[in-house]
Amino acid sequence: MTVPASPSTHPDAGWWRQAAVYQIYPRSFSDATGDGIGDLPGATARMGYLSALGIDAIWLSPFYPSALADGGYDVDDYRNVDPRLGTLDDFDAMVAASHDAGIKVIVDVVPNHSSNRHVWFQAALGSAPGSPERARYHFADGLGVNGELPPSDWPSHFGGGAWTRVVEQAGPNAGRPGQWYLHLFATEQPDFNWDHPEVQADFHTTLRFWADRGVDGFRVDVAHGLAKDMSLPLRSKPQLEILVDDGSDPLFDRDAVHDIFTGWRGVLNEYDPPKAAVAEAWVPFTNRRLMYARPTELGQAFNFDLLQAPFDAAEFRAIAEKCLVEAEASGASSTWVFSNHDVVRHASRYALPDGSTLEDLEAWLLAGGTVPPADLGRGLRRARAATLFMLGLPGSAYLYQGEELGLFEVADLPEASLQDPTWFRTQHKVKGRDGCRVPLPWQRDAANFGFGGTPWLPQPDWFAGHAADAQDGVEGSTLEMYRAALGWRRKLQTDESLAWLSEPAASVVHYRRPNGWEVLTNFGAAPALVPSGVDPAKVVLSSGVPATGTVPAETTLWLAP
């Protein structure tokens, strides 16, 4: 394919195009200080592990000062480190260690909302309606006779309404209930007004701040949410997730958002090589999602299509085909992801009965992972097959900490330990995302499985069998499968294309990369014949039992040229 002209001729300018990116959720990765919260020195100390794993980059979820109303996605100060996680010096040391290990660093930037403790929001609360301080957020008068009703029917993503009324601190109504402010997520996450030039300028400053400290890229949180139509009367939108594909939604995926990211690209291109960026944009329409990924904007956008698909040959093949074609059309490379800090781990998703919906998954979590019974053996087998299917594809693969250990969701966390705002804002009807955020098990026999101090979310006993040291050097372990795959991947990822060798409806999906590497995935529950012309002696990696002339059930094979 033709790679679009880059403003840079730097040999490293396209490093992200086929990178394997490992997501670190810092509070749950590794705790060097022993307070039960993972930290930046903890991440630095694990650089040897990450390097041996064979990843190309790490992406750190927010480590900024925060009250943790939403796990750090409620940012108090965009240009600092939460003291519980370290200091700016610790950050610099982590970047240096990472670069020494040949690993790039991506940080999360959260532009849709700040925390309610941010100095600008505090100033807005302390100022009167109509003041310049309020203009950086979305404040509005309520409806009803006395403004007692929210300005619109918009719900929050985490349950409940998206507006909270303040008690005025200044102006003629001081001491009385007054205006409302918008928060599409938790109450503690007021949405910024991106029409405000100071908001735009401040994020450019933040991008430069981290870029100057050596980060190589940015993951952009809720990228599709920044531009909003706040013209009165506000339009009704009782269900946030229903979007249309023409940019006319009042809250998400509006065309104006692209002006913002064109401006960001200008900042990112001040560096050589230019800084990479990936949009988190839950936009279901590929043609619109790809606008975020254009070379004139962020360069890449997450596609969550495989993550949302059942383990099914036709679905996987169709999604991969579509995403590759569309990524090429935009000049981006595709992204792939099965697990992250927001979803039930894929080894557990695939363990549920076929045909389970998102509602079934939520009900299963609420039942502590008991109803319906999950087939964990099958879940992990499918997860490993899916991962090898993905790691062979052209594009960037995003891996979530712990998936290389074959971790399942911790579905039975004690209710008293739950922290996700979803749990509270839905009056305990939706369990939320804590089950994929439990601190990692490093050592089978150490206290807290070698994580550090008593973890902020309790680890289950079964973590012992998944501990990194219990899998190290063990043939067939999930950790060794990831290491082998990531090692071979460096040979396999050359030209960004592939040829499909199977029929779209076949239960075995088969593709070949231009350098001759082949990937075969059997999505069926029974072994399948090796397709004619394929030499089983060339198998170098299997996600399941060693192949003996067949493609075993729910298994991916990699064949060297």
**Residues with catalytic annotation?**
221, 270
Residue 372: asked if its preceding bond is cis (omega within 30°), the reply is yes
Nearest to 149 by CA among 137, 138, 159, 140: 140
Distance of CA 33 to the CA centre of its chain: 26
Among 63, 73, 91, 292, binds ligand GLC (CB under 6 A): 73
Whole-angstrom Cα distance, residue 364 to residue 362? 5
Shortest CB 222 distance to ligand GLC, Å: 5
Whole-angstrom Cα distance, residue 510 to residue 502? 5
> Checking DSSP bridges between strand 20-24 and strand 57-60, what pairing results, if any?
parallel
Q: Which is nearer to ligand GLC, 23 or 179 (CB)?
A: 23
- CB of 496 within 8 A of CB of 392? no
Shortest CB 130 distance to ligand GLC, Å: 28
Q: Which helix (H) or strand (E) holds 91?
A: helix 88-100
Nearest to 303 by CA among 295, 292, 311: 292
Q: How wide is the angle at C-alpha 99 spanned by C-alphas 296 and 339, nearest 5°?
A: 65
State the greatest distance between any 2 C-alpha atoms of the chain, in Å, as a whole number: 82
The 10 Å Cβ neighbour count of residue 310 is 16
Among 70, 409, 434, 518, binds ligand GLC (CB under 6 A): 70
- From residue 299 to residue 338, the character string flagging contacts with ligand GLC as x (rule: CB under 6 A) and all else as - is ----------------------------------------
Nearest to 88 by CA among 65, 69, 108: 65
325: its two tokens: 């074609």
Shortest CB 283 distance to ligand GLC, Å: 13
Q: Considering CB under 6 A, how many residues would be counted as binding ligand GLC?
A: 9
Q: Which is nearer to ligand GLC, 222 or 559 (CB)?
A: 222
Whole-angstrom Cα distance, residue 451 to residue 442? 6
Which SS3 state, helix, strand or coil, does residue 225 take?
helix
Shortest CB 515 distance to ligand GLC, Å: 35
Q: Based on the shown chain and the rule CB under 6 A, indicate whether residue 110 belongs to the binding site for ligand GLC.
A: yes
245: its two tokens: 């594909």
The answer for residues whose C-beta is within 8 angstroms of residue 67's C-beta and 6 or more apart is 74, 76, 115, 117, 188
Q: Which is nearer to ligand GLC, 186 or 468 (CB)?
A: 186
- CB of 136 within 8 A of CB of 198? yes
Among 221, 403, 518, 554, binds ligand GLC (CB under 6 A): 221
Whole-angstrom Cα distance, residue 506 to residue 503? 5
Shortest CB 305 distance to ligand GLC, Å: 16
Q: Based on the shown chain and the rule CB under 6 A, indicate whether residue 25 belongs to the binding site for ligand GLC.
A: no
Shortest CB 110 distance to ligand GLC, Å: 6
Q: Based on the shown chain and the rule CB under 6 A, indicate whether residue 185 belongs to the binding site for ligand GLC.
A: yes
Among 40, 47, 199, 222, binds ligand GLC (CB under 6 A): 222
Q: Based on the shown chain and the rule CB under 6 A, indicate whether residue 82 belongs to the binding site for ligand GLC.
A: no
Q: Which is nearer to ligand GLC, 19 or 222 (CB)?
A: 222
Q: Which is nearer to ligand GLC, 186 or 553 (CB)?
A: 186
Q: Based on the shown chain and the rule CB under 6 A, indicate whether residue 559 belongs to the binding site for ligand GLC.
A: no
Shortest CB 307 distance to ligand GLC, Å: 13
- CB of 435 within 8 A of CB of 365? yes
Closest-CB residue for ligand GLC? 73
Q: Which is nearer to ligand GLC, 221 or 403 (CB)?
A: 221
Q: Which is nearer to ligand GLC, 190 or 452 (CB)?
A: 190
Shortest CB 536 distance to ligand GLC, Å: 42
Q: Which is nearer to ligand GLC, 137 or 185 (CB)?
A: 185
The answer for residues whose C-beta is within 8 angstroms of residue 270's C-beta and 6 or more apart is 208, 211
Q: How wide is the angle at C-alpha 206 spanned by C-alphas 201 and 208, nearest 5°?
A: 95
The answer for residues whose C-beta is within 8 angstroms of residue 188's C-beta and 6 or more apart is 67, 69, 70, 74, 115, 116, 117, 421
Which SS3 state, helix, strand or coil, does residue 154 take?
coil
The amino acid at residue 306 is: L
Q: Which is nearer to ligand GLC, 241 or 461 (CB)?
A: 241
Which SS3 state, helix, strand or coil, does residue 287 take?
helix
Q: Which is nearer to ligand GLC, 25 or 442 (CB)?
A: 25
- From residue 263 to residue 282, the character string flagging contacts with ligand GLC as x (rule: CB under 6 A) and all else as - is -----------------x--
Q: Which is nearer to ligand GLC, 433 or 512 (CB)?
A: 433
Only one residue has tokens 């009385």, namely 176
Treating both helix axes as pointing N-terminal to C-terminal, what angle do 478-492 and 376-391 enclose, rounded to 10 degrees?
20
Whole-angstrom Cα distance, residue 70 to residue 420? 7
- CB of 384 within 8 A of CB of 478? yes
Shortest CB 347 distance to ligand GLC, Å: 20
Per CB under 6 A, contacts with ligand GLC among 332-371 are 341-342
423: its two tokens: 């749990």
Shortest CB 200 distance to ligand GLC, Å: 19
The amino acid at residue 292 is: Y
Shortest CB 111 distance to ligand GLC, Å: 10
119: its two tokens: 């100095």
Whole-angstrom Cα distance, residue 361 to residue 263? 40
What residue ranges bind ligand GLC (CB under 6 A)? 70, 73, 110, 185, 221-222, 280, 341-342
